[in-house]
Amino acid sequence: MRLTYFGANSWLIELGQQRILIDPWLVGSLVFGNLNWLFKGQRSKPLDAIPDRIDLIVLSQGLEDHAHRPTLEQLSRTIPIVASASAAKVVQQLGYTQVATLTPSQTFTLGDRIEIRALPGAPIGLQVENAYLLKDKDSGTSLYYEPHGFPAAEVKNYAPVDVVISPVVNLELPLVGAIIKGSKTALQLAQWLQPQVFLPTAAGGDVEYEGWVNSLLRTVGSVEELRSQFAQNNLSTQVIDPRSGESIEI
């Protein structure tokens, strides 16, 4: 398995000879509801190129930092997509022709080899979005992805997995509380799934944020704190904090 991080929630997973984009934000700014004053993310340095030869796009949520319209507009509409219900609406509006909408426990198989299983993810409003378990049926190699730090207890049924991608910090707003809960859930998730490698997501990458919401956000936790927690709990899981554009071989 080879993984490339592009910052925020964006990943390229190369597994079983398939190239899978997860929650891609690859071009332009990250803005919610076209309200630049509210929240805006900008890469310090644009990506050199959009990854090519993509076999599948996986979208966990319909929010802009998961289903990023400017990026999706740049990609071929013929690429198959696996998506939560809210994300499926976004790509269908953009004209994508092969969209598999998964609800928790449903699966999609890519190339007769890679199984993508939807699991319960983060609650957004009244809807529960998706987490995903990706598994190479030939080698048994597996990966769990959930970008907000809301793992469902049923993930224990799929242990062990090789790689976990999930937040390691909390992002908190006054009165609202934690909108990202990595600091509260990363240790428990690792204890459940016993991964070889834990990769942080959501708050990383070479990205600069601005806007009213960003000025109120408070970060709780760190990669070093999680490593310390793993050591204290006798977990051998390695925490790797990838740089934007860096590829990791597992």
pLDDT of amino acid 41: 78
Query: Could you give the percent of the chain with pLDDT greater than 90?
Result: 74
Cα dihedral across residues 126, 167, 89, 108: positive or negative: negative
Three-class DSSP category at 100: strand
Rounded CA separation 166/226 (Å): 12
| DSSP per-residue codes, 202-229 | SS-SSEEEESHHHHH-EEE--HHHHHHH
Domain ranges of the chain: 2-243
Q: Which residues of the chain have pLDDT under 50?
A: none
pLDDT digits (tens, 9 = 90+) for 124-150: 988 999 999 999 999 999 999 999 999
| Residue pointed to by tokens 């907000």 | 148
**Phi-psi sector, 226: left (phi>0), alpha (psi -120 to 50), beta:** alpha
Backbone angles phi, psi at 111, to 5 degrees: 60, 30
Q: For the structural domain made of 2-243, what CATH number should be given?
A: 3.60.15.10
Cα end-to-end distance, the chain, whole Å: 5
How many C-beta atoms surround the C-beta of residue 18 within 10 A?
17
Cβ neighbours of residue 242 closer than 8 Å, sequence gap 6 or more? 3, 5, 199, 200, 204, 248
pLDDT of amino acid 115: 98
pLDDT of amino acid 212: 81
* Nearest C-alpha neighbor of 27 from the set 11, 42, 12: 42
> Residue 51 carries which DSSP code?
-
pLDDT of amino acid 26: 95
